Chain A
């Protein structure tokens, strides 16, 4: 089974992403302006890390696993954690391409990289070994267990962004989380394109790990492909659809599918990779 219609997918993705960003940034501002805080809290509370939407509780797998290593299995959290985990098993690292509130900042980072290039100012684009992100994930989880503090809350861009938005909305200043976020953005802009997402983000690493057997894959029809490299260039995460080198690091954003001039790429549902 394959899915073409790259543009429709992109329109859908932008809609979902806009909704995600509105909830991360918009609801704290809304909440701060409601004197008695009587907005319907079953409708929406929180951000992507721990959201309540339409009465449904959803917990980011990185947070679920963080609580798991720090406190063991908490039956009370299963209802919020398990549906999201199942979604990641099926869709792989889709959060990074469809929901992560850091994506607009990444888009700006890429635009700045491009602009600097036009001005003749060189930017680095270092590539790091594939195992690095797993080492970071291991370090974050090991550190969480050893310190008894949820480290993901301190280094994971979606969590930092949500807390910074809350601080701004409530007039508390940006705080230290924004400094970490700025460092991440500068790293992506000057050292390595989407380098944090690709090689350092513990969430991205966990999603790749959990979604390693995801049946949703980008597939290429070699007969239609003209080897133009657009798909490889457009990918933020260093995947190479043009030479069929797409691994669990793919965020299923579908930008390669939409940008292919000959329609040679498509999402396909299949079993294990050959």
Chain B
């Protein structure tokens, strides 16, 4: 490369460095093991390997061509994460930190999002009967979903929840009371 090429490289880099990003409002649900927002976007090269190996096809990519086009997100409403950890094993850059598919490690380290319960829609909470489906499917168990009262109404404990979305998927069609929300929204008081 000649001097002009070097100058062009430097000029391009400087003008690139001047770009400022509009702050994204809401976070997305990222695959398990994802680094914190900010770090994740820096590390993810959009190679789609996580989606390629995902057995439930829960990992998707945005359809557009914007800044987030290369970032995988979870479509838990359509398909829950079964916590197989194949995506963390496939990620080439560590944007998804490797977590072995051991129940204890998964329960301790995976934090995809937090459960948000709409008590008006939930069958036991709204007095429409006993349901318990969310508690049955929860891979973490009582630490994450506690059943309370005579109607066995679910009480979620966000700090123990891995955010896999199995409860969201299992929640009866007429209720659809559970939603896994990005943890950042929870911290801002979204739950």
Residues of A within 8 A of B (CB): 27-28, 31, 36-37, 41, 45-47, 49-50, 52, 57, 59, 63, 66-67, 70-71, 74, 76-77, 80, 129-132, 134-150, 152-154, 159, 162-163, 166-167, 170, 172-173, 175-177, 179-180, 208-209, 212, 248
Contacts and interface: CB of A to CB of B under 8 A. Distances in A.
Nearest to B90: A45
B93 A132 contact: no
A175 B69 contact: yes
A130 B41 contact: no
Interface stretch (B54-62, B109-117, B141-149): B54-62
Contacts of A45: 49, 52-53, 90
B25 interface: no
Contacts of B55: 36-37
5 contacts: A131-B7, A143-B17, A150-B44, A163-B46, A166-B51
A91 B125 CA distance: 67
Contacts of A50: 45, 47, 49, 92-93
Contact of B14 (A131, A137, A142): A142
Nearest to B16: A142
Contacts of B73: none
B8 A172 contact: no
B43 A248 contact: no
B9 A138 contact: yes
B47 A145 contact: no
Contacts of A153: 44-47, 69-70
Interface in B139-188: none
A159 B16 contact: no
B191 interface: no
A167 B61 contact: yes
A71 B46 contact: no
B102 interface: no
B128 interface: no
Contacts of A146: 16-21
Interface string B14-51: 11111111000000000000000011011111111101
A154 B61 CA distance: 12
A47 B42 CA distance: 20
B63 A132 contact: no
B189 interface: no
Contacts of A179: 65
B42 A159 contact: no
B38 to A, nearest CB: 6
A138 B12 CA distance: 4
Given A50-B45, A52-B92, A76-B94, 6 more contacts: A37-B55, A131-B8, A141-B16, A147-B19, A153-B46, A154-B65
B42 A31 contact: no
A139 B15 contact: yes
3 closest A-B pairs by beta carbon, nearest first, are A142-B16, A138-B12, A176-B65
A173 B53 CA distance: 19
Nearest to B40: A148
Nearest to B46: A153
A74 B44 CA distance: 13
Contact of A162 (B10, B48, B64): B48
A227 B42 CA distance: 51
A138 B8 CA distance: 7
Nearest to B3: A131
A162 B51 CA distance: 12
A7 B67 CA distance: 43
B66 A176 contact: yes
Interface string B79-93: 000000010011011
B109 to A, nearest CB: 17
A66 B16 CA distance: 13
Contact of B42 (A71, A143, A163, A173): A71
B15 A149 contact: no
Given A138-B13, A147-B67, A166 B53 contact: no
A134 to B, nearest CB: 4
A149 B5 contact: no
Given A37-B86, A74-B93, A134-B12, A150 B17 contact: no
